[in-house]
Amino acid sequence: MKMSEAFILTGTTVLLGALFMQAWVTPITISAEDSIYTNGASMMKGDTFELDIRIQNETTVRIVFLDENEGILSAESIVVASGERIERSLEALESGYYTYEIDTKGAEATLEFDIERKYKIDLIPYPLGGFLLAFGLHLRSAEEPKSSDVVLDAELDV
């Protein structure tokens, strides 16, 4: 494999991987039999949790945000009608691991979770992949002989 092809393949892979990391959001289904759903993420100062919860049945939903020392940052119980949607967010005041807990109390729900990064560090793969792809294309164009440089040899039988 030529170096140009390796750079092109690597750059394309990084760009496609970054696109999937950024755009692919898989909703989490919480069934009626499930206990409290808990998850979390490492966040830097200024990053924001964004929760979008869709409830199937009428219930009271309890949402709790915790810091890395298990200190409660926010806790609320919300009465929700069937089919209603709840949106909540929390901004990290300092860097650390933040956790959220959702208790649907026996109702089915669908949860979408997103983190809005303040410093956009998750966008770094795009310029890196673009650079690798452009460098590979540049190497390929430098490797290809020009039509005036091509020597055509032929043996003619008489």
Which residues make beta-bridge pairs with 49? 90, 115
Examine residue 55 and state whether it is found in any structural domain, yes or no.
Answer: yes
Q: Please give the pLDDT value at position 93.
A: 87
Per residue in 55-77, pLDDT tens?
Answer: 888 888 899 999 888 888 889 99
For residue 116, pLDDT beyond 80: yes
In a domain, 87, yes or no: yes
Confidence of residue 149 (pLDDT cuts 50, 70, 90): low
Order of strands across the sheet with 72-80? 37-43, 96-103, 59-66, 72-80
Q: Phi/psi class of residue 135: alpha, beta or left (left: φ > 0; alpha: ψ in -120 to 50)? A: alpha
CA angle 110, 115, 119 (to 5 degrees): 170
Q: Is residue 101 part of a domain?
A: yes
pLDDT of the residue at 148: 61
The model's pLDDT over 35-60, given as tens digits with 9 standing for 90+, comes to 888 998 889 998 998 889 998 888 88
**Any domain includes 129:** yes
Query: Would the pLDDT of 150 be above 90?
Result: no
Does the reported pTM lie above 0.75? Answer: no
Position 127 in a domain: yes
**Domain containing 55: what range?**
3-143
pLDDT band at 13 (very low <50, low <70, confident <90, very high): very high
Number of domains the chain contains: 1
In a domain, 154, yes or no: no
